[in-house]
């Protein structure tokens, strides 16, 4: 495989880094325990939710756990999907750049034949 140009490598690296950030965020979001207002919940705790109109709702540990576990796969798919797209784009960028460079190289060598005449 012919090495792509520096600009292509830099562009692909930036895309890949952004993709990896999405993966890392997805990995951190997929694990962990049950939380309420950013704080860890334990069995027996109750989470108080206050709506904008002042209405209060109490959720048990099991309810919060069920809700958060239902949300995690969606978050994982969305963030992982975005990360995958960025990494795929980086790979595509590198392959296309390499192919273009290979074609360029073939043309440069073809021109050498008639450049030598002069």
Partner 1 sequence: MTLLVESALGLAPDVTVAASMRNLGEHRESYPAVTPKPLLLASGMFAVLFGVLAGGATWGAIVGDPAVWIAAIILWSLATPCLLGFLWVLLRSPAVSKRARQFRVHVFEHGWVWARRSGTEAYRWDEVQALFANLAVFTAEVSSRTPYGIRIAMVDGRRMEIWQVHVDMARFGPLLTARVAQAQLPKAMAYFDKGNPVTFGDLTITDDGVAFQGFLTPWSDIGGVEIDHVDQSYLSLVDPQGEPRGARVNFGLMANGYTFVLMVEAILAKLRGVGR
Q: Which residue ranges make up the site for partner 1 (CB under 8 A)?
A: 5, 14, 17-18, 21-22, 25, 29, 35, 37-38, 75, 79, 100, 103-104, 107-108, 110-115, 117-118
Cβ nearer to partner 1, comparing 61 with 82: 82
Helix (H, G, I), strand (E, B) or coil at 38: coil
Least separation in angstroms between CB 7 and partner 1: 8
Cβ nearer to partner 1, comparing 63 with 100: 100
Cβ nearer to partner 1, comparing 5 with 57: 5
Asked if 17 and 95 touch (Cβ cutoff 8 Å), the reply is no
Q: From CA 34, how far away is CA 113, in angstroms rounded? A: 71
Least separation in angstroms between CB 33 and partner 1: 14
The CA-atom distances, in angstroms, between 115 and each of 93, 101, 102, 105, 112 are 32, 20, 20, 15, 5
């Amino acid at each position: 495989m012919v090495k792509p140009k520096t600009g292509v490598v830099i562009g692909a690296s930036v895309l890949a880094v952004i993709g990896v950030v999405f993966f890392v965020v997805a990995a951190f979001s997929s694990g962990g325990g049950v939380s309420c207002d950013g704080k860890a919940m334990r069995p027996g705790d109750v989470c108080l939710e206050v709506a904008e109109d002042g209405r209060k709702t109490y959720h048990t540990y099991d309810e919060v756990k069920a809700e958060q576990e239902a949300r995690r796969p969606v978050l994982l798919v969305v963030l992982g999907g975005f990360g995958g797209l960025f990494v795929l784009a980086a790979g595509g960028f590198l392959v296309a750049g390499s192919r273009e460079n290979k074609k360029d190289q073939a043309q440069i060598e073809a021109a050498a034949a008639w450049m030598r005449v002069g």
